[in-house]
Structure 1
């Protein structure tokens, strides 16, 4: 693998890292620098990558520059009580064209994902999610995306690929490997009714900000079924994350977005995680850089606490519940290890969507089924499979 398009972390930042106390990130993770060379990737679990690409970011000029402010804050944080298998691979600079940057990022992500290293992408515009999605083409599998955003970023079919139209390109462009898209935290007044109806007609999931804020646990089963998690800082209220020209008064709090990041980390299925639209020019007292560093901390903690209980392992590790509903029979599986629930759609082994036949759910979904109410998530998945 050629890593020539990765620029090492600045030497000044390396000095800053080495000045931190023992047991902090700066002292404990391997960092790609000109002095030390490219780090070994054997036995690494997580790789941090900056991407200085903001040319397709709409309304947020300057995003992607000076990502070192985030690194400064991350290097100060103390580790949790977990092993450190994290490497900082430096930064991808802007290519001659935006497409050049997408190509470099996609190649790198594909390599990392194939080698079971989870990339944490720090951007740059959220259009980089498209390059992240295309990185899965070589894996020849369908992909689930969860976006934490106040908008759906559909744009129109005629629009060029940008931070506000990347989703329509994912849906329309071939090869089309998208199985499911879920939005967490959309705000209705920023999305047309046509867009809301379109997502519903595609059997995608969308949860309003108030709905998630009132019950943050809604996020867990959504993240448990995600391959890609993409967070737009516009989903966070301006008071908590001002370093984004598209920030608004309403949004998730800092505590809520950290909880969401941890849910993403805990998911056995999430294989890439991105935080986008950071604009250092607007970062008052490095407040947003601090919050992003904490989001990364919580994601890494979550990864280190993965239950690894995705069915099916040994049948003894699960309890099976059979619920007859109308002309259907719903099978539920509860992990003895974590107490988490799944519901099953029966597919033959040759079905290309077999990996989606087990749907993460909640105990409440099981209770609804026993009350003869078919869970909405089960119905939407079934409609995509047939």
Structure 2
């Protein structure tokens, strides 16, 4: 792994660890420091990486989260009953250009993915999601991206990449590895109608803020099929972030965003996680730290019951609808549900990587009443594109 891009954690932060109890995270994980050097990655499950890159922010401001403040808040939290090994690789130095930073982050992410290590990236603007996405180019697989954001971040077609337009580059720039894009928490008045229409035309999934707040469990199947998860912390309401300028009065509260992060961690398929647009307030740093804690908690309680791993651990249900049989599978380990999506033999979109789609028990019950799940219909449409 090329460690030239990474700088050690600041000594002032490590000095803070000496005041913490031994059970605190700061005293329980391996940290990249000037004294100890870079941690070994053998047996590591998650690696934290700070990124101090804000040059492509849509609105330039001075109140960005300082990486050392995030670490102070994160290191002081206590470890859960975790068995997975965690390391902090330090900070990615901003390159001479933003493109240099993208290249470095993409290279580091790709290396960690190949080693089976989940990169947990924090800090910086959300356009860094593009760099993490490009890391999957080396994996030769289609990618499912989930963002937690009040906006879709499509921007204008000819706009230079920014924190509000990176999705255009993901969709348009080759190689085109994106299979599905899901947004959680969008607010209608933050998005042009053309963007909402585009989500429909591309058969992408979008969940309005009110829908998720009403029942946060509806997003669990979305994460179960994700590879890359990107969280824009401004999707959290201003009151929970410390009420800094540019924040939204509406959004998720602290408990809801932490539950969402936990769902992301529980997913057996999520292989990278990014937390961006963090705030400089002490309250914002605390919430960001707790959000990462919940993601790590989720990873540590993964059930590893993805259907392709062991079909014997599933109960199969056949639901006849019209002139077809819909096949549902329920895990005997976790009680989670999947629905089979028939492959289209004439498809040329490299979508053969799976035929089982996560769903809910409610969708199974509605199918028994003749209602075809919307997520199944969208998946079938993608198969023939």
State the TM-score, normalizing by the size of structure 2.
0.96
Q: Secondary structure at the match of 2:238?
A: coil
Partners of 1:63 and 1:109 lie apart in 2 by 27
Contact (CA 8 Å) 2:342, 2:380: kept in 1 or not?
Answer: no
Q: Give runs of aligned pairs for residues 1-386 of structure 1, distance below 5 A.
A: 1-62=1-62, 66-242=66-242, 245-280=245-280, 283=281, 286-347=282-343, 352-386=350-384
Q: Secondary structure at the match of 2:275?
A: strand
Q: Secondary structure at the match of 1:136?
A: helix
Q: Secondary structure at the match of 1:126?
A: coil
Contact (CA 8 Å) 2:148, 2:235: kept in 1 or not?
Answer: yes
Contact (CA 8 Å) 1:52, 1:64: kept in 2 or not?
Answer: no
Q: Secondary structure at the match of 1:250?
A: coil
User: Following TM superposition, by how much is the alpha carbon of 1:312 offset from its aligned partner in structure 2, in angstroms?
Assistant: 2.6
Partners of 2:90 and 2:185 lie apart in 1 by 30
Partners of 1:63 and 1:54 lie apart in 2 by 11
User: Following TM superposition, by how much is the alpha carbon of 1:246 offset from its aligned partner in structure 2, in angstroms?
Assistant: 3.2
Contact (CA 8 Å) 1:233, 1:244: kept in 2 or not?
Answer: no
Partners of 1:117 and 1:245 lie apart in 2 by 36
User: Following TM superposition, by how much is the alpha carbon of 1:205 offset from its aligned partner in structure 2, in angstroms?
Assistant: 0.4
User: Following TM superposition, by how much is the alpha carbon of 1:65 offset from its aligned partner in structure 2, in angstroms?
Assistant: 5.5
Partners of 1:349 and 1:243 lie apart in 2 by 53
Q: Secondary structure at the match of 1:42?
A: coil
Equivalent residue pairs, number: 382
User: Following TM superposition, by how much is the alpha carbon of 1:63 offset from its aligned partner in structure 2, in angstroms?
Assistant: 6.3
**Structure 2: runs of 5+ lacking an equivalent:** none
User: Following TM superposition, by how much is the alpha carbon of 1:120 offset from its aligned partner in structure 2, in angstroms?
Assistant: 0.6
Q: Secondary structure at the match of 2:287?
A: helix
State the TM-score, normalizing by the size of structure 1.
0.96
Partners of 2:261 and 2:217 lie apart in 1 by 12
User: Following TM superposition, by how much is the alpha carbon of 1:244 offset from its aligned partner in structure 2, in angstroms?
Assistant: 6.1
Partners of 2:127 and 2:309 lie apart in 1 by 37
User: Following TM superposition, by how much is the alpha carbon of 1:243 offset from its aligned partner in structure 2, in angstroms?
Assistant: 7.3
**Structure 1: runs of 5+ lacking an equivalent:** none
Q: Secondary structure at the match of 1:138?
A: helix
Partners of 1:256 and 1:299 lie apart in 2 by 13
Deviations 1:167-201 (A, max 9, x none): 11101111010000000000001111111111011
